[in-house]
Structures are given as structure tokens and as C-alpha cells.
Chain A
């Protein structure tokens, strides 16, 4: 019983739930501002995503007459809830040890696709042909980027497990602990292909150009999101903000979690700074500098580059290097 309250606190307030929400929305605001500046525009203020959420909350969710009501309304909430829990599983070195009892890398791997699945279910339930197109495209993209993700997670787990003698180490807290003692995995040449694969995985999973195929506004009119409005759409945006924090935080925890000397507050700020840096590199710059792939081009891209890179690291880690 006593374990529940701390777990709930971590899931709902810090670092999950509220904290991840605020940080995620703020990161999105930063991303929009920097992208605008790269395009020689002024851009919205940093707190624009908060304003957007408030605006959406005040509007009405219009449900198409032919839509499947329950699935249509439950899908965004599902994505949001899944990501809120995930955020609690990411350790912040020097501030938060994670919830090893609640979940590890494997649980994260299962929960991470939830926003994408929510998008698919919502798109399908909306009974719009564009939703159906978005559904199939999102499915195709998931097939593409889940393979490198799994390979990267396994590579990290095997690397740490081999070094600590347990074989495979899925606990994220242990992975972070190992790096604090023996140096970040980002400094290990064996893990560089996995790091590269993870960096390439990030724009795909966040639906950012060149991989924004499922929500291509000029092709499928936002795909699954087309029929959404009001608070239901707001939940999709919140789920996306949370997912941003989760995948960036996961990248930081798996490859360069090293803390700064100082208290918890300093390290939380340092963690956020690292997340922001990772985001600017892999999401913002990529978004501003590219167009959009066709769905089969995006699929083949993931097969040709991130997948072999991640498998390379996996192979090397498995051989004990």
C-alpha cells in the first residue's frame, strides 16, 4: 500500500504526468520557435503549445455521425495515459532513480507505440477515408521504425548486461547506474551505431518530416487527425508532447545520463537541457531542412540505415565487445 503513493506521485506529478506535460509542451514551443527562425520567420512565443491546448479544451469535440464513438473518444485518452506512465519510468540521474519495480526497457518498448496505435485506432474509428489512409501509413511506419528501436534497446541491455555479468540487463535504472560508474555509452565506439540508429529513429517516431507520412497535410489532410477537434484533439497533442519527453529522456538515459555535481534541481535542469539539445539536433533541424518521403521510401530508409546500424551494435554487444 505504501508503495502506491510514491508510484502514483511519480506517474502523475514528477517526472511523469504534470512535469512531463509542462516540459514536453515547452520543448514543443522551443521546437516551433527555432524552426521558424531557421525559416527566417519570427515564430510563435515559447508558450504557444499551452495556449493551443487551452483553446482546444474550450472547443467542442465534433464526432462524425458515422464514426465509432467509443473508439473515437477513447483513442486519444489511451495514448495520453500510456505516455504519462512511461514518463515515470525514465530515470533522471542525480534527481530521480526511476521505478524499477514498475517497468523496464521491455515495458517501455511495449508502451512507446501507444500514441501511434491511438492515432491508428482513432483514424480508423473516424470513418473518414483519409483516416483509413493514415491508419495504413502509420502501420507501415511503425513496422519500419520499431525494428531499429528494438535492436537498440536490446543492444543497450546486452552491453550493460555483459559488462555487469547478468547477461541481459533490462532495468533502465541499472543501465543508468552502470553508466554513472563506467562512463556513458555514448563514449563507447561499440554503441555508436546504436546511437546513430536511435537518432534516426527519433524523427520517425515523432512523425516529423521527412517521416510525417501518416499526417501529411497536403496528401491525406492530416490523416487520422482530420476528424478530431476540441478536447479529443487536445489529448492527441498532449500525448505527442509527453511522447517527446519520453523518447528524448530515454535517449538521454540510455546514452549520456551523466549528472552534474549539484542537487536535484540542477540535475533536472541539466536533463531538460540535454533533452532540448537532442530535440534540436534530431527533430528541429531535420524538420526544417527536408521535405517528406513517400511511405515506401520512408519504410525502405529505415530498413537500409537505422536497422543495420542498430543490429551491428547488437551483434557487437552480443559478442561481448
Chain B
């Protein structure tokens, strides 16, 4: 949706720097009174040329590079990248490593979803709820710092396995933390399902119907909030997920509230997954010896917190890749904004943008 400018509309510039967005993105809105008539996106403020940088680094160094594409999906990128390399070289990752990878991924997923749900509260001005959910997220941050050494970038993956391991003490700490998080998130879930102020601001806002969702090819919680059962962990299980079996969390209404509910419910699913992984953690090595990476092409996809993440890798037998391309989930969800923002109010703009959980760093690389 673009160019809705008429004599009655004025231009509202939202961004690139805006209170409600964590990252720079420019929206040029044509507004009539309080109703939005047209949206134009102006992206590129965080373009770092990472795909070009990847061609100047070895396959090893790219693990570090891909981790820094995005901080909230920061485990999904190296995970998928390593899977692409392993697919190319025909390597089998040990089972223990597969399960440990799932644990890292699900921990990141919980933190990412809590962040998004908290920012939803912030945008509607409910600062106390925002701080409450962020404080719950701090439990996850402490877990990350204790188990991996860092609150955001885990550096958990390497080609052929993982770079960390769980001993008894860490496992106990992890499970204890998850128990607290579960209790707290149950409280948060209750608030988000029943608080009238929140429901009034988020129900019926930014609606994306199932047909529109399918046509636009949206992924992740955006798709699942509109009733589509799209989850790579379910549709095309990879790594440890093939052993676990994940049921996608789906809501029908396709509004801001549904997407928030999908994320909250997925937190419970993730907690259960981590608990299962810890219980059924197989013994064995956490990594394999690296072979020579041959020339070839490979694809890998995974379910990042924001949706389906696809990595394409082409090598020519040297240790520097020939082409590394990644298609992020947020890239698929931007177009949906045009449908969701149709005739919405100015007050709902930031809310709708946040509900697709955009990762601008991911999109612009």
C-alpha cells in the first residue's frame, strides 16, 4: 500500500529514529486525521554489507559473522549456517550436539518472544507491564550468561557440533531457572489474555486474514497467528527436532493480540522442549573432526524466533565461501504491513509494526 496522498492527507514521518522502534526504519505515512491512508517503507539504514563481508572471511570466521547479523535471533543464524556447511560436506553431527543445539535455540526463542511481548506493553503505554515482563526475561538472560558466558551472543555452534557442554551443576541451574520462568510466564499469559486495557488496544488491530497471509508468504508467528500451520520444526524437522516432534502453536484471528498469544504459548512449548532435551540428553562427543569442505552448494533452513530462516552456501574447495546468502523471516513479513495497516489509526502504527516482530538488522544485513 503506497501513495495514498490526497489533498486531505498530511505526511507523517515515522523513523528512522523512533521511540517505538529498536532499530532504524523509515515509514512515510499519509495520514488523514488519525487514519493512515498510505504507507511507504524506506529501508537500508542498518545495511552493513554482511553478505559481502562473508566472502572475505573463512568458513570458520563466518560463524562469528553470522552470529552478529541479529542479536535476538543470534543463535539461529550460526546454527543454520553450520547446518548448511554440514549438509554440503555430508557431515553427521553427533546426537548430543544436536540436542545441545536445540537447547540453545529454544533458550533464545524464549528470550526473544518475551522481549517482543514486553515491547507490546511499552508501546501501548503500559510501562509497568513492560518492566515486569523484562524482569522475567532477566531470568533467561542470567541463564544465558551462566551457561554460555554472554547475555545475547551465545557462540554455541561450530561446524560439526557445539562449543559448549552441560554438566550437572549447569543443568540444575538451567532447570531451576526454567521453573521460575514458567511460573512467571503463566502470570504474564493471564494478564495478556484478560487485561481489558490490553485487549482493547490489541484485539482487532492489524488484522491479517489467512488468505492474505498465504498470498504474501508470511512466516513465523505472523503466519501462525493467522491460522497457518507453518513451522519448520514441524514441516521439515531438522537436527534435534527430528527426534523431538514439535506441534505448531496456532491462533485464528490474525490480529496483534493473536500474534502475541502465539509467542506466549510458544514459550511454554519451548520450556517443555528444553526440559525433554535435558532429560534425554544422550552421551557422546559434542563435535566431530572437520573434513575438507568440498566444492558444492547446500541449503539449510530452520525456525528462528521470527520464522523460517534459509541459508544458501556455495563453496569452491577453498576455505573462503564463494557465495553465502541468507533469507530472513522478517524479509517475508514486511509486505504484510501494507495489508495490516490499511485504514489503521496513528496510535496503532507502532503496535502493528511491533507485532510482526521485525528484525531490521536481519533484513538489511
Give the distance to chain B from A252, nearest Cβ to Cβ, in Å.
27
Q: Which residue of A lies closest to B124 (CB)?
A: A291
Cross-chain contact A219 with B346 (CB below 8 angstroms): yes
Is B346 touching A291 in the complex (CB atoms < 8 A)?
Answer: no
Q: Report how far A134 CA is from B30 CA in the complex, Å.
A: 17
Known: A39-B131, A132-B10, A133-B346. A218 touches B20 (CB 8 A): yes
Q: A132-B10, A290-B197 are in contact. Are A218 and B350 (CB under 8 A)?
A: yes
Within 8 A of A (CB), among B1-52: 10-13, 18-20, 31, 33-34
List A contacts of B135 (CB < 8 A): 40
Chain B residues within an 8 Å CB radius of A39 = 127-128, 131-132
Instruction: Tell me the bound Cα distance from A39 to B126 in angstroms.
Output: 11
Which residues, 112 to 134 on B, are CB-close (under 8 Å) to A? 121-129, 131-132
Chain A residues 251 to 300 lying within 8 A of chain B, measured CB to CB, are: 288-295, 297
Contact between chains at A133 and B34 (CB < 8 Å): yes
- Whether B347 contacts A221 by the Cβ 8 Å rule is no
Q: Does A74 contact B (CB under 8 A)?
A: no
Most buried by B among A38, A218, A288, A294: A218
CB distance from B347 to the nearest CB of A (A): 5
Which residues does chain B contribute within 8 Å of A41, judged by CB atoms?
131
The reply to whether B127 and A295 contact each other, CB–CB distance below 8 Å, is no
* Contact mask for chain B residues 94-124; partner A; CB cutoff 8 A; 1 contact, 0 none: 0000000000000000000000000001111
Given A40-B135, A218-B350, A219-B349, A289:B34 Cβ within 8 A: no
A92 touches B (CB below 8 Å): no
Residue B190 is within 8 A (CB to CB) of chain A in the complex? no
B320 within 8 A of A: no
Shortest Cβ distance from A291 into B: residue: B126
Inter-subunit contact B129/A291 (CB<8 Å): yes
Q: Are B123 and A129 in contact, CB atoms less than 8 angstroms apart?
A: no
The residues of A that contact B122 with a CB separation of less than 8 Å are 218
Residue of B at shortest CB range from A41?
Answer: B131
Given A129-B12, A129-B13, A297-B200: A38 and B349 interface contact (C-beta under 8 Å): no
Nearest-neighbour CB distance to chain B for A14, whole angstroms, equals: 35
A188 proximity list for chain B (CB < 8 A): none
Complex Cα–Cα for A290 and B197 (A): 7
Q: Type the 1/0 row for B137-173, where 1 means its CB is closer than 8 Å to any CB of A.
A: 0000000000000000000000000000000000000
Q: Which residue of B lies closest to A213 (CB)?
A: B347
Flag whether B201 is at the interface (Cβ < 8 A). yes
Contact call A219/B350, Cβ cutoff below 8 A:
yes
For residue B346, which residues in chain A have a CB less than 8 angstroms away from its CB?
A: 133, 219-220
Cβ of B275 < 8 Å from any Cβ of A? no
Asked if A16 is an interface residue, CB under 8 A from chain B, the answer is: no
Question: Taking the nearest CB of chain B, how far is it from the CB of A102, in angstroms?
Answer: 38
Which A residues touch B201, using CB under 8 A?
Answer: 291-292, 294
Majority SS at the chain B contact face: helix
Q: What CA separation (Å) do A221 and B200 show in the bound complex?
A: 22
Candidates A40, A290, A294; contact of B345 at CB < 8 Å = A294
Task: Report the separation of the CA atoms of residues A210 and B33 in the bound assembly, to the nearest whole angstrom.
Answer: 21
Query: What separation, in Å, do the CA atoms of A220 and B34 have in the docked complex?
Result: 11
> Which residues on A sit within 8 Å (CB–CB) of B34?
133, 136, 295
Complex interface bits, A205-219 against B, C-beta within 8 A gives 1, otherwise 0: 000011011001111
Chain B residue with the shortest CB-CB distance to A209: B125
Cβ B125 vs Cβ A136 within 8 A: no
* Inter-subunit contact B128/A216 (CB<8 Å): no
Contacts of B200 in A (CB 8 A): 293-294, 297
B198 close to A (CB within 8 Å): yes
Smallest CB gap from A137: residue in B: B34
Contact with B along A27-56 (1 / 0, CB 8 A): 000000000001111000000000000000
**Closest chain A residue to B348 by CB distance?**
A294
Specify which chain B residues have a CB less than 8 angstroms from the CB of A217 in the assembled complex: 19
Whether B347 contacts A219 by the Cβ 8 Å rule is yes
In the complex, the answer to whether B128 meets A289 with C-beta atoms within 8 Å is yes
The listed residue with most B CB atoms (<10 A of its CB), out of A136, A210, A291, A295, is: A291
Question: CB-nearest residue of chain A relative to B20?
Answer: A218
Contact residues in B for A289 (Cβ distance below 8 Å): 128
Asked if A210 and B197 sit within 8 Å, CB to CB, the answer is: yes
Give, as a whole number of angstroms, the nearest-CB distance from A121 to chain B. Answer: 19
Q: Are B131 and A216 in contact (CB under 8 A)?
A: no
A221 touches B18 (CB 8 A): yes
| Chain B residues in 8 Å Cβ range of A294 | 200-201, 345, 347-348
A interface, CB within 8 angstroms of B: 38-41, 129-130, 132-133, 136, 209-210, 212-213, 216-221, 288-295, 297
